[in-house]
């Protein structure tokens, strides 16, 4: 998997994940991912549009990071998962805990409101 | 009963390695409908999951399943086999997990057979849906995905083995 972070206007931190978020893929990015959500920035958008496969280990990672951000008083949302990944998030009941947005503007509003 | 998988595959004379559809020989025991059986053995190491996924996707394509159904089956197989490798064994010595994919009356069946401790993933209790992120438990999503995504699931304990059958509709 690949992971990248980018600072957007308004103090938003956009983290982009891509590849297969299975056991191996999640292990590849897990430490970096927690490092990126553990910083000063509390408004985090995680772009999932490049994630082609999401397994429960990946859900675990998303949930852990979203919890950590929330515990610091921040907010993390998910951006543009594809149809298959969206179905996985919905079936696992994650969409109600970590909101999903289809466009960046809506995601920015959600983390800065 | 002789050891794991090979003998069981061997009973199914219709199991053609190249995926051709050949009718089962007369008098073959069992209730499986005719057709090719694709089979794979993996060992209890999480590094096997990618190889399993590649095999499964390719085998499922030969049954002309829609891509979404293939992805869902791939996911649920990953979840089931991850659980077996991570939790089924008292000692982390060498174990084999056997997978068999075949046409079923109403779709395609994937059987996953392991020799770990008895565990029925279909009757295990799932954590209640949390009211908020703070209450959310980490983990447990795998079983939820298996039960929520497959058209049907079946578990049996037979000859000291767990056999989980996942069904997708074509």
Question: Token pair of B31, please?
Answer: 């209730």
Question: Token pair of A75, please?
Answer: 């907010």
Given a cut of 50, whether residue B11 has pLDDT beyond it is no
B16 confidence band (pLDDT: 50, 70, 90): very low
Cβ contacts of B8 within 8 Å, gap of 6 or more: B98, B113
Interface ipTM: 0.94
Average pLDDT over residues A51-74: 96
Element (H, E) at A32: helix A23-37
**Chain B residue closest in CA terms to A87:** B149
The answer, for A92 touching chain B at a CB cutoff of 8 Å, is: yes
Residue B25 or A72, more confident: A72
A57 confidence band (pLDDT: 50, 70, 90): very high
Average pLDDT over residues B147-152: 96
Contact flag A84-B49 (C-beta cutoff 8 Å): no
Q: What is the pLDDT of residues B80-139, one digit of tens each?
A: 999 999 999 988 789 999 999 999 988 999 999 999 999 999 998 888 888 889 888 887
B167 by Cβ neighbours in 10 Å (0-12 / 13-18 / 19+) ranks as middle
Average pLDDT over residues B50-62: 97
The answer, for A86 touching chain B at a CB cutoff of 8 Å, is: no
CB B40 within 8 A of CB B54: no
Tell me which residue in A55, A88, A97 faces B133 most closely, judged by beta carbons: A97
Interface mutation target, options B81, B136, B143, B149, chain A, most CBs of A under 10 Å: B136
A42 confidence band (pLDDT: 50, 70, 90): very high
Tell me which residue in B47, B71, B141 faces A56 most closely, judged by beta carbons: B141
Interface mutation target, options B57, B73, B75, chain A, most CBs of A under 10 Å: B75
What percentage of chain A has pLDDT greater than the value 90? 95
């Amino acid at each position: 998997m690949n992971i990248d972070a980018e600072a957007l206007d308004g103090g938003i931190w956009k983290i982009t994940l891509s590849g297969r978020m299975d056991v191996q893929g999640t292990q590849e990015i897990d430490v970096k991912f927690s490092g990126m959500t553990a910083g000063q920035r509390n408004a985090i958008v995680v772009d999932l549009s490049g994630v082609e496969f999401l397994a429960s280990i990946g859900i675990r990672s998303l949930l852990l990071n979203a919890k950590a951000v929330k515990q610091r008083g921040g907010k993390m949302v998910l951006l543009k998962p594809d149809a298959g990944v969206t179905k996985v998030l919905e079936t696992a009941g994650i969409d109600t805990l970590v909101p999903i947005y289809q466009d960046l503007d809506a995601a920015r509003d959600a983390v800065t409101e | 009963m002789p050891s794991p998988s090979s003998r069981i595959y061997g009973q199914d004379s219709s199991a053609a390695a190249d995926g051709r559809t050949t009718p089962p020989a007369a008098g073959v025991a069992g209730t499986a409908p005719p057709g090719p059986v694709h089979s794979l053995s993996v060992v209890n190491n999480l590094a096997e999951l990618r190889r399993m996924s590649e095999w499964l996707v390719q085998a499922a394509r030969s049954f002309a399943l829609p891509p979404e159904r293939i992805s869902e089956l791939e996911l649920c197989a990953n979840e089931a086999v991850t659980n077996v490798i991570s939790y089924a064994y008292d000692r982390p010595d060498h174990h084999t997990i056997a997978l068999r994919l075949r046409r079923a009356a109403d779709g395609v069946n994937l059987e996953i057979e392991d020799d770990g401790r008895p565990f029925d993933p279909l009757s295990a209790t799932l954590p209640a849906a949390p009211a908020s992120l703070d209450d959310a438990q980490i983990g447990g999503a795998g079983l939820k995905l298996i039960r929520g995504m497959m058209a049907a699931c079946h578990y049996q304990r037979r000859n000291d083995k767990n056999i989980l059958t996942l069904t997708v509709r074509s």
